[in-house]
A = this chain, B = another copy of it.
Amino acid sequence: MSEHELRIALPPWVAEVVEWTRPYPDDDTRMRLAITLAAENVRRGTGGPFGAVIVEEETGRLLSIGVNRVVPENNSILHAEVIAFMMAQRRVGSYTLGAPGLPAHTLVSSCEPCAMCLGATLWSGVRRLVCGATREDAMGARFDEGPVFPQSYRYLEAKGIAIVRGLLRDEARAVLESYAATGEIYNG
C-alpha cells in the first residue's frame, strides 16, 4: 500500500452477526440490527458505540452496514454512517443511492447523525433517515455532535428526505451508556 492510499475494512466479526440474505422489512427490524452492530462493536472492542444500516425501502434488502471505526483506524471520518454510505455506493456503482433506475434507500442509524454524517446523508442519495438515540443521549455519553440545528433537519426535509427520530431510543441509548462507562471518548 502506497503512502497516498488508504484501506478501509469492516471488522471480521460482522460476517458472524449480519444476516445478508434475509429481508429487513420494517424500521424496528432495521433499527435492531443497527443497535446490535453498535453493541457488538463495543463488546468486541472494535470502535465506538454506533451502528448504521442501509436498506432498500420497499424490499427490505440489506445493502450495507457500518460501525464506528474512529479509534482503531486512527481516522475521525470513519463514523458508522460514513462507512455504510461508502460501502453502499460501491455496491450499486454510483456516487448517489438516488441515481436513476435505483430503488429508494433508507439509512437507519443507532444515533442521530453528527454534523458530518448529517451532511453526508444529504449527499448519499438516501430518501429516508431513521434514528434511534438522540443528540442529547450522545452528549450525555460525552460525545459532541457538532453544529446540528433544527434547521439542519429542515434543510434535508426540504430536499425530499423523510426523517424519523427516537425509534427504539431506550435500547439505542443503553449502548451509548455502556460505552461511556469505559470506552475512549473522541470528539469529547
Contact = CB atoms under 8 A, between A and B. Distances in A.
A174 interface: no
Contacts of A155: 146-147
Interface string A84-113: 011101100111100000000000000000
Interface stretch (A1-9, A32-40, A133-141, A162-170): A1-9
A151 interface: yes
A7 B10 contact: no
Nearest to A83: B6
A9 B4 contact: yes
Interface residues of A, number: 49
30 contacts: A4-B14, A4-B15, A4-B87, A7-B7, A70-B95, A74-B94, A76-B95, A76-B96, A76-B120, A76-B125, A77-B77, A77-B123, A96-B186, A115-B119, A115-B122, A116-B116, A116-B119, A116-B120, A116-B122, A118-B147, A119-B119, A119-B147, A122-B146, A122-B147, A122-B187, A123-B146, A123-B186, A144-B159, A147-B155, A149-B149
Interface of A: 2, 4-10, 14-15, 70-71, 73-77, 82, 85-87, 89-90, 93-96, 114-120, 122-125, 144, 146-147, 149, 151-152, 155-156, 159, 186-187
